[in-house]
Amino acid sequence: MNTAQSPKAQRQPSNKSVLLEFLGSMNLAISILVVLAIASIIGTVLQQNQPYNDYIIKFGPFWHEFFSSIGLYDVYSAIWFLVLLGFLVLSTSVCIYRNTPAMLRDMRQFRLHAKAKSLKSMKHTSVWQVESEQVTTTDFIQKAKLYLGQFGFQLRDEVFDNHHTLVAKKGSVNRIGYILTHVGIVVICVGGLIDGNLSLKMKEWAGDIKIETRDIIAKEVPAISRLKPDDSLSFRGSITLPEGSSSNFVFLNVRDGYLIQELPFAIKLKDFRVEHYESGQPKSFESDLVIHDDERDKFETTISVNYPLIYRGYAIYQASFGDGGTQMNLAVRPFFTKSLDNGQVQRTELKAEVNKKTTINTSEGKYILEFDDFKKFNIFPNKDKTINKKYTNYGASIIFKARDESGQAREFVNYMSPVKLEGRYFYLSGMRETLGDDFKYLHIPMDANATMDRFFRFHAILNDDARLLQMAQTAVGAAVSDMDRNNRQMQQQVAEAMVRLVGLFRRGGYVAIDGDIQEKVPQEKQQAIAEAYMGVLQTALENMYLLVLREEGIDVSKGISDADSVFFEDAVSALAGLGFYGTPFYLQLVDFEHREASGLQIARAPGKNIVYFGCLLLIIGIFMMFYIAQQRFWLMVVKAEGDSKMELIFAGSTNRNEFGFNKRYSKFAGQLKTLLLGDTK
């Protein structure tokens, strides 16, 4: 028995063909595209390349570490994203390599060798019988050529042994659309790889560069953390330029640190302008720039949002704005201090600058003041019904952190001008312990001279224990009965208790008094003691306030005015809230010299034009694939030997818009039947 196998059965696929089939498979390409699409969505929704502290606040330490480890903070430059992009290029290229030759051959083919049986089995086909000895197959073909040629079809015909076949085709460039679509994907991915900072990662792995994580000034950044203009094929960095300053570098945010990217030219900010809506939102902002380039002449230009400057392949965008180092004159008003002999309250003058630090000495040790921002305008919805305005301007404010000797910091926002609330004016100071908290506001009432001096004189008396004891003794002596006037020991105890009560209040407000009662008084007596304490405290505070008014030269013998009475209530409320304030001083903005800064983003993206070209190819390819239908029509004239009868087979096929093609085929079939068979009757 012959056991030999056929050559086809013996042929086994080679390792090369198996690999090409895998790389060019649609399943692999779709899987990669899905992952890249998900990653792109994440990169769009999650703001990229922000300081790591922002991500820690937003996600917490655990998820921050997890997201950081998989590169979600810089998705488009993550190594896995670039590797997947490379695989997509490889897979699509293999697909083009495998399918393009066949498609080009198919475009050139007319399929003249189609069999009658195949044509009859098509969805769109018609068969006509002709009985004529006077008409040849060539006559039918020539008439069909004239008819179909007027519709722009390419025509080919060929004579075979027992039949004559005509093929009309149109829309073969549809196949070019498939090729252009895949080539466009490859070109786009190549552009993405060029702009993916792969070279930067290679240099980091090789140890040629090192990410700087220290908070130091630019000139102190070492050379290993600096990139020359030609070191990076592509990058996107930022720089904040104060008015009048210049820079020839930008900062590149890289994970938890940064690199300095040097530029082949210097940028100077000549002037910055910003306009606001009534709501306080920025309406427009623009920068006047001066470009200094050793290779070219100096020139000036203006950039604004959506109108960048393209210079030597670098795109300079107007991205943001901020403070450029506003000079401020401040007054440090200490809490928990006595008034001076002349009745004035202690205050220290301080000069400061935004984005810089300074140290001050207080009664509770040294504090480091970190001035983060200055705002010339603060626009908020109007809450005062007496003013017919939708928005109101609270005026200038400073934002700073006060860090004590243990390193604990609180953030403050202090407004320069008094703000009108419920018909009265207050100096506002907000405090929060963490960035995620809301500000808690201290409301210091404004006095008749539009200052906060009366409040601080009132507060200073609360801290003068000797003066407070003397006042308490006088008040106790006037309040006790004649029988108890000689009991000096009792008077002293009551006076000292009053001083102690005021001391609790000035340190922690009503909360501190309530805590003391709960700690030292039996529960059944707490309510009664609390009422007694509040009465004593109210008397002490009123006496101290009257003393403040007398020192101002106000005659209080016949009572005080309604305005002074309201001020007293507001001042007591403010004093009760000092316990949460967190610092032994108040920082008052006295004067300032505003200096603005422009936030510029500078990008170099040579792959951008490649991506644009790839997108153009993709659009053209998709248009050709979906809007150009490939159509073929066959007319086969079959004549049997020795028989006068002829059979005409008219068939058609398309790969798009089946509904529209059905109407066209019906039209062609009807008109051709009339044209061809009408002469044979």
Residue pointed to by tokens 């393009």: 100
List the one residue out of 41, 70, 203, 168 whose CA is nearest residue 650. Answer: 168
Q: DSSP 3-state assignment of 358?
A: strand
| 512, 530 Cβ separation under 8 angstroms | no
- Indicate whether 3 pLDDT > 50: no
Cross-strand partners of 654: 631
Burial code (b: 16+ CB inside 10 Å, e: under 16) for 319-342 equals eebbbbbbebebbbbbbbbbbeee
pLDDT value at residue 631: 92
pLDDT value at residue 680: 47
Q: Please, which pLDDT band fits residue 4 given cuts at 50, 70 and 90?
A: very low
| Pair of tokens at residue 459 | 């507060």
CA atoms of 461 and 454, how far apart (whole Å):
11
| Pair of tokens at residue 648 | 């005409």
The predicted model gives 664-677 an average pLDDT of 92
Around Cβ 260, how many Cβ atoms within 10 Å? 19
CA atoms of 353 and 333, how far apart (whole Å):
19
Around Cβ 220, how many Cβ atoms within 10 Å? 8
| 137, 639 Cβ separation under 8 angstroms | yes
Average per-residue pLDDT in the chain? 85
Phi, psi of 448 (to 5 degrees): -65, -20
Q: Judging by DSSP bridges, how do beta strands 645-654 and 440-445 pair with one another?
A: unpaired
Residue pointed to by tokens 């000895």: 133
Compute the residue count for the chain. Answer: 681
- Choice among 114-118, 350-354, 517-521 with the minimum mean pLDDT: 517-521
- Choice among 95-109, 114-128, 478-492 with the minimum mean pLDDT: 478-492
| 184, 614 Cβ separation under 8 angstroms | yes
The predicted model gives 116-137 an average pLDDT of 86
The predicted model gives 344-368 an average pLDDT of 88
Q: Which amino acid is at 58?
A: K
List the one residue out of 614, 605, 609 whose CA is nearest residue 77. Answer: 605
Nearest 10 degrees: Cα torsion 210, 213, 219, 222: -30
- Indicate whether 9 pLDDT > 50: no
Domain ranges in the chain are: 13-105, 110-171+629-680, 210-321+596-605, 327-332+348-445, 459-580
The predicted model gives 413-422 an average pLDDT of 92
Percent of the chain with pLDDT over 90: 38
pLDDT value at residue 490: 66
Q: Please, which pLDDT band fits residue 16 given cuts at 50, 70 and 90?
A: low
Residue-wise pLDDT for 655-664, tens only, equals: 888 888 999 9
CA atoms of 431 and 408, how far apart (whole Å):
13
Q: Which CATH number applies to 110-171+629-680? A: 3.30.310.80
| Pair of tokens at residue 441 | 């506001």
Around Cβ 664, how many Cβ atoms within 10 Å? 17
| Pair of tokens at residue 176 | 């070019």
Residue-wise pLDDT for 359-392, tens only, equals: 999 888 899 999 999 998 888 887 766 667 778 8
Residue pointed to by tokens 């013998």: 557
pLDDT value at residue 2: 45
The predicted model gives 225-249 an average pLDDT of 90
Residue-wise pLDDT for 574-621, tens only, equals: 988 887 888 989 999 999 999 999 999 999 988 888 999 999 999 999
Around Cβ 270, how many Cβ atoms within 10 Å? 15
pLDDT value at residue 483: 41
pLDDT value at residue 385: 65
CA atoms of 268 and 248, how far apart (whole Å):
9
Q: Please, which pLDDT band fits residue 482 given cuts at 50, 70 and 90?
A: very low
Q: Please, which pLDDT band fits residue 339 given cuts at 50, 70 and 90?
A: low
- Indicate whether 96 pLDDT > 80: yes
- Choice among 44-48, 207-211, 381-385 with the minimum mean pLDDT: 381-385
Helical H segments across 50-131, by residue range: 52-59, 61-69, 79-108, 116-120
SS3 content of the chain, % helix, strand, coil (to 5): 45, 30, 30
List the one residue out of 674, 637, 669 whose CA is nearest residue 652. Answer: 669
- Indicate whether 285 pLDDT > 80: yes
pLDDT value at residue 304: 93
User: Contacts by 223-226 with C-beta closer than 8 Å and gap 24+?
Assistant: 225/258, 225/259, 225/260, 226/259, 226/260, 226/261, 226/262
Distances (CA, A) of 297 to 244, 290, 315: 20, 11, 18
| Pair of tokens at residue 666 | 């019906």
pLDDT value at residue 497: 75
pLDDT value at residue 643: 67
pLDDT value at residue 292: 94
List the one residue out of 269, 316, 317, 314 whose CA is nearest residue 289. Answer: 269
Residue pointed to by tokens 């042929």: 11
Q: State the DSSP H helix or E strand holding residue 368, giving kind and residue range, or none if neither.
A: strand 365-375
Distances (CA, A) of 102 to 15, 631, 651: 22, 18, 24
Residue pointed to by tokens 């170099």: 604
pLDDT value at residue 491: 67
Residue pointed to by tokens 């990008």: 603
